[in-house]
């Protein structure tokens, strides 16, 4: 009897430690599970950015199948004649845009086109500081950009303006560029 | 003892799931509340002074667009408050607000009327009307969620009321209406217009003139209220 009681006492002494260890294990597992479960719910991603990502993903999957690149302006290894022709058109659009935006002391940082014909124009910041324009003037900058690209790039459908590589709501507080700008910009009857 | 961690884990997941369920229920409840509130309560007027903070808008000497439109917005909101409207402004101080925040505020305030204010580079008062849709295939998925879609008729009525009021105050020939695509207003679920006032070269923006402008715009709001009240009764 005595020895068994002693044994039980020894076992009781070990219990708090195993409980602490167990509690720690539960805490770690539960935190990890919650983190994994909740992470996607708290990750901010705009609908448009995720659309670009899904487009780029399907693009890279397609590129694995097809050797000729279809994301123009990103053409290292472009081999088809069509690819070169599109690149040349995009380069021409690039220099026209650079010239057009010089008035506003805004630089063209990057220019590329995706498979659906949406052209991404990455501009340097600074138009808000250098602008001094109203609705009509800002509208004209954007419709002007659209017109210049349409003249030089065949297959162009819409343009998406980025500022410093990021999505922007507006150049100067009047026109909403958070979504791609399409042909409505030319048929708006603003003139 | 081994069942305890599993139980705790399950409890944690159950708690998360319950919280989400409550969110959905709350959202549905809010939607119903909004519909109920929109009929049979004082009309909500949201005035939206453009620019703010580091974005001054147009500057001329001591005058800047962000300050002038804020002053006029405050005057309109005060008049609307006195006239029995629920009046608010997207910004009441000198800070920049994103388009998204301005649109969200109009939803929060359950706006019936939303007016953006700017100063332009012209002699006239230009009233811009947001376009809710266009033919471009690329844009259709985005425009489908446009808030203006169900309010185009209301916006047209507000335009008519505003043209009359501003025309009476400043002369019919000085008031021009234009359509505006790619405007933040396309996302606003209310009768919505952007009013661009004459340039700093064409208007002094003295305290008296600011009061006159606010008065004329408020008359436009009143005209619209009368028009819609007649239709609703
Ligand atoms: Zn402005």
Confidence of residue B1 (pLDDT cuts 50, 70, 90): very low
Output the CA A110–ligand 1 centroid distance in Å: 28
**Same domain flag for A88 and A146:** yes
The rounded distance, in Å, linking the Cα atoms of B164 and B166 is: 6
In a domain, A70, yes or no: no
A166-180 residue pLDDT tens: 999 999 999 999 888
Residue A69 lies in a domain: no
Token match 């100067």: residue? A172
Residue B125: exposure state from Cβ atoms within 10 A (0-12, 13-18, ≥19): buried
Phi, psi (rounded to 5 degrees) for B219 = -60, -40
- In the reported structure, the alpha carbon of residue A174 is separated from the centroid of ligand 1 by a whole-number distance in angstroms of 6
Q: Greater confidence, B136 or B121?
A: B121
CB neighbour burial string for A91-125, b if at least 16 within 10 angstroms, e if fewer: eebbebbeebbeebebebeebbbbeeebbbbbbee
Q: Using the predicted structure, report yes or no on whether residue A35 has a pLDDT greater than 70.
A: no
B92-124 burial: b if 16+ Cβ within 10 Å, else e: eeeeebebeebbebbeebbbbbbbbbbbbbbeb
Residue B166 and residue B220 in contact, taking contact as beta carbons nearer than 8 Å: yes
Res A155: pLDDT: 85
List of chain A residues whose C-beta atoms are within 8 Å of the C-beta of residue B58: 132-134
* Token couple for A136: 């009509």
Q: What percent of chain B has pLDDT over 70?
A: 77
Instruction: Give the count of beta carbons closer than 10 Å to the beta carbon of residue A186.
Output: 13
Q: Are residues A29 and A92 in the same domain?
A: no
Per-residue pLDDT, B163: 97
Chain centroid to Cα A62, Å, comes to 19
Q: Does one domain contain both A29 and A98?
A: no
Q: B195: nearest CA in chain A?
A: A135
Mean pLDDT for B134-161 is 74
> Half-sphere exposure of residue A111, counting CA atoms within 13 Å on the CB side?
20
The Å distance, Cα A140 to ligand 1 centre, comes to 14
Helix, coil or strand: residue A167: strand
Q: Work out how many domains chain A is built from and give that number.
A: 2
Residues of A with CB under 8 A from a CB of B: 22, 25-26, 29-30, 33-34, 37-38, 48, 116, 118, 128, 132-137, 139, 142, 157-158, 169-170, 172-185, 187-190
**Residue A56 forms part of a structural domain:** no
Mean pLDDT value of segment B68-96: 97
- Domain locations in chain B as residue ranges: 6-232
pLDDT at residue number B143: 54
Question: Whole-prediction pTM value?
Answer: 0.71
Report chain A's C-alpha Rg in angstroms.
29
Give the whole-angstrom CA distance, residue B19 versus residue B3: 24
User: Which residues, 6 or more positions from B151, have their beta carbon under 8 angstroms from its beta carbon?
Assistant: B188, B189, B190, B191, B192
Q: How far is the CA of B203 from the centre of ligand 1 (A)?
A: 16
CATH of B6-232, one of 3.30.420.40, 3.40.50.2300, 3.40.630.40, 3.40.50.850: 3.40.630.40
Distance B58 CA to ligand 1 centre (A): 7
Identify the weakest region by mean pLDDT among A87-91, B37-41, B57-61, B217-221: B37-41
Q: Tell whether A174 and A112 lie within a shared domain.
A: yes
Which pair of tokens denotes residue B53? 């903070």
- Give the nearest partner residue to A185 out of B4, B181, B187, using CB atoms: B181
**A79 pLDDT above the threshold of 80:** no
Within a domain: A36? yes
- How far apart CA A149 and CA B206 sit, in angstroms, is 44
Residues paired with A16 in a beta bridge:
none
> For position A28, what pLDDT does the model report?
81
The per-residue DSSP string of A92-149 comes to HHHHHHHHHHHTTT--EEEEEE-TTSEEEEEE-S-HHHH----HHHHHHHHHHHHHHH
A126 in a structural domain: yes
Interface predicted TM-score (ipTM) over 0.90: no
Q: DSSP letter at B180? A: E
Of A29, A134, A185, the CB nearest to B182: A185
**Structural domain includes residue A98:** yes
Containing domain of residue A181, as a range? Answer: 80-187
Angle between helices A135-152 and A81-102 (to 10 degrees): 150
B123 and B198 Cβ atoms separated by less than 8 Å: yes
- Give me the phi and psi of A141, to 5 degrees please: -60, -45
**Residue B2 pLDDT > 50, yes or no?**
no
Region for residue B18 given its phi and psi (left: phi exceeds 0; alpha: psi -120 to 50; beta: otherwise): alpha
Q: Does residue A37 carry a pLDDT above 80?
A: no
Same-domain pairing of A170 and A89: yes
Residue at A105 is within a domain? yes
**Could you list which residues have their CB under 5 Å from ion ligand 1?**
B 50, 57, 118
- Least Cα distance to A144 among A105, A116, A181 occurs for A181
Nearest CA in chain B to A129: B55
Together in a domain, A30 and A99: no
């Amino acid at each position: 009897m005595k020895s068994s009681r002693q044994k039980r006492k020894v076992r009781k002494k070990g219990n708090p430690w195993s409980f602490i260890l167990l509690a720690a294990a539960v805490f770690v597992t539960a935190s990890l599970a919650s983190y994994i479960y909740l992470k996607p719910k708290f990750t901010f991603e705009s609908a448009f950015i995720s659309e670009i990502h899904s487009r780029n993903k399907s693009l890279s999957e397609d590129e694995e199948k097809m050797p000729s690149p279809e994301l123009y302006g990103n053409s290292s290894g472009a081999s088809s004649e069509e690819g070169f022709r599109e690149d040349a058109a995009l380069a021409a659009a690039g220099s026209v845009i650079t010239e057009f935006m010089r008035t506003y002391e805004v630089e063209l940082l990057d220019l590329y086109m995706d498979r659906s014909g949406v052209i991404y124009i990455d501009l340097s910041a600074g138009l808000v500081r250098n602008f001094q324009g109203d609705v009509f003037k800002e509208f004209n900058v954007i419709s002007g950009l659209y017109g210049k690209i349409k003249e030089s790039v065949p297959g162009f459908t819409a343009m998406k303006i980025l500022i410093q590589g990021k999505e922007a709501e507006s150049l100067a507080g009047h026109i909403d560029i958070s979504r791609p700008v399409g042909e409505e910009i030319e048929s708006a009857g603003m003139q | 003892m081994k069942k305890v961690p599993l139980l705790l884990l399950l409890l944690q997941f159950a708690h998360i799931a319950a919280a989400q369920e409550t969110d959905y229920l709350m959202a549905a409840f809010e939607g119903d509340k909004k519909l109920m509130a929109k009929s049979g309560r004082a009309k909500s007027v949201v005035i939206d002074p453009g620019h703010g903070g580091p974005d001054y808008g147009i500057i001329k000497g001591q005058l800047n667009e962000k300050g002038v439109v804020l002053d006029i917005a405050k005057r309109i909101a005060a008049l609307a408050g006195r006239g029995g409207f629920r009046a608010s402004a997207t910004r009441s101080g000198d800070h920049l607000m994103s388009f998204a925040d301005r649109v969200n505020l109009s939803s929060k305030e359950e706006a019936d009327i939303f007016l953006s204010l700017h100063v332009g580079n012209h002699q006239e008062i230009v009233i811009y009307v947001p376009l809710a849709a266009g033919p471009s295939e690329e844009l259709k998925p985005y425009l489908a969620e446009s808030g203006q879609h169900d309010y185009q008729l209301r916006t047209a009525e507000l335009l008519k009321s505003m043209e009359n009021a501003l025309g009476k105050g400043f002369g019919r020939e000085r008031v021009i209406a234009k359509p505006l695509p790619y405007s933040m207003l396309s996302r606003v679920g209310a009768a919505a217009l952007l009013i661009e006032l004459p340039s700093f070269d064409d208007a002094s923006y003295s305290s008296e003139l600011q009061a006159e402008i606010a008065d004329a715009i408020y008359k436009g709001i009143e005209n619209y209220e009368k028009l819609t009240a007649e239709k609703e009764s």
